[in-house]
């Protein structure tokens, strides 16, 4: 049966799971890897994508369903964390412990205007893990003093007469 949470490959297809993980990371798609780290099913894992589809399976259907729900929540929040469940996914129990490792793309910051302040902002943003694009109406790409700011995609349109906005327009 296909659909969110039901599109899966059985746990024997570990290669497929890691291939999907590698593909998602290359494509900047958010995914979460869920691994049992304590309990009878240590080592079982599945990968869940942002749309709820998963590869791999935890042995118990109810445990898988609850862990899938929680993994999607962690992924949406961009967090990784440890969850405890009963053997069949019951809350408030500690028979099974899973680690949810979220892989979310880096946030993207777009800075308009290549001025001195921008250079400092770009450096700090890169240290904090942002992908940065510097856009300046005077130049088609960032000047040399902004080596870590990516090129602006598209061109900046002049503000319309009468107080219109300036914004990125597709090429």
What is residue 143's predicted lDDT score, i.e. its pLDDT?
54
Here the tokens at position 149 are 């700011």
Answer yes or no: is pLDDT of 96 > 90. Answer: yes
Give yes or no: residues 61 and 133 share one domain. Answer: no
Give yes or no: residues 68 and 130 share one domain. Answer: no
What is residue 151's predicted lDDT score, i.e. its pLDDT?
58
Give yes or no: residues 41 and 97 share one domain. Answer: yes
Give yes or no: residues 70 and 117 share one domain. Answer: no
- Final residue belonging to a domain, choices 84, 103, 122: 103
Q: Which comes out higher in pLDDT, residue 57 or 151? A: 57
**56-89 pLDDT, tens digit each:** 988 889 999 999 999 999 998 889 999 999 988 8
Structural domain for 91, as ranges? 14-103
pLDDT bin (cut points 50, 70, 90) of residue 116 is: confident
Answer yes or no: is pLDDT of 150 > 70. Answer: no
Determine contact, residues 45/35, Cβ cutoff 8 Å.
yes
Report the number of distinct structural domains present in the chain: 2
Within-domain flag for 8:
no
Give yes or no: residues 152 and 122 share one domain. Answer: yes
Residues 6+ apart with CB under 8 A from 169: 154, 155, 156, 157
β-pair type (168-169, 45-49): unpaired
What is residue 28's predicted lDDT score, i.e. its pLDDT?
87
Determine contact, residues 97/37, Cβ cutoff 8 Å.
yes
Within-domain flag for 89:
yes
Give yes or no: residues 24 and 62 share one domain. Answer: yes
- Final residue belonging to a domain, choices 103, 121, 143: 103
Within-domain flag for 141:
yes
- The whole-angstrom separation of Cα 55 and Cα 44 is 12
Mean model confidence pLDDT for the chain: 78
pLDDT bin (cut points 50, 70, 90) of residue 157 is: very low
Give yes or no: residues 55 and 112 share one domain. Answer: no
Give the mean model confidence (pLDDT) for residues 36-65: 91
- Upper half-sphere CA count for residue 58 (Cβ side, 13 Å): 33
């Amino acid at each position: 049966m296909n659909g969110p949470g039901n599109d899966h490959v059985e746990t024997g297809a570990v290669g497929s799971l890691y291939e999907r993980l590698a593909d998602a990371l290359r494509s900047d798609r958010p995914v979460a890897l869920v691994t049992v780290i304590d309990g009878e099913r240590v080592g079982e894992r599945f990968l869940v994508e942002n749309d709820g589809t998963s590869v791999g399976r935890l042995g118990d259907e109810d445990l898988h369903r609850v862990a899938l729900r929680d993994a999607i929540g962690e992924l949406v929040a961009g967090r990784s964390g440890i969850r405890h469940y009963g053997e069949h996914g019951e809350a408030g129990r500690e028979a099974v412990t899973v680690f949810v490792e979220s892989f979310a793309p880096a946030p993207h910051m777009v800075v308009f205007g290549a001025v001195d302040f921008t250079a400092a902002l770009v450096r700090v943003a890169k240290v904090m893990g942002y992908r940065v694009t510097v856009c300046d109406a005077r130049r088609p790409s960032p000047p040399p003093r902004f080596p870590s700011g990516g090129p602006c995609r598209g061109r900046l349109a002049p503000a319309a007469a009468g107080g219109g906005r300036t914004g990125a327009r597709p090429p």
